[in-house]
Amino acid sequence: PSAARIEETLRTLPGGLMGTLRYMSPEQARGETATAASDMYALGLVLQELFTGQPAYEASLTAPEALERTRKGQSLPVRGLGRDLTGLIESLKSSTPSRRPTALETLRRLQWIQRRPQRLLRRGLVAAILLAGKSPFR
Q: What is the pLDDT of residues 41-55, one digit of tens each?
A: 999 999 999 999 999
pLDDT tens for 74-103 read: 999 999 999 999 999 999 999 999 999 999
Query: Distance between CA 109 and CA 98 in Å, rounded?
Result: 17
Q: How far apart are the first and last CA of the chain?
A: 89
Strands (DSSP E) along the chain, which ranges? none
Give the pLDDT of residue 9.
46
Q: Is 15 left (phi over 0), alpha (psi -120 to 50) or beta?
A: left
What per-residue confidence (pLDDT) applies to 10? 43
Q: pLDDT: is 12 or 42 the higher one?
A: 42
Q: What gap in Å lies between CA 81 and CA 92, rounded to an integer? A: 15
User: What's the pLDDT score for residue 132?
Assistant: 66
Check residue 110 and give its pLDDT: 95
Residue 11 pLDDT exceeds 60? no
| pTM of the predicted protein model | 0.75
Residue 32 has pLDDT above 80, yes or no: yes
Q: Could you read off the pLDDT of 18-28 as tens digits, one per residue? A: 678 889 999 99
Is residue 65 within 8 Å of residue 79, measured between CB atoms? no
CB atoms within 10 A of CB 63: 9
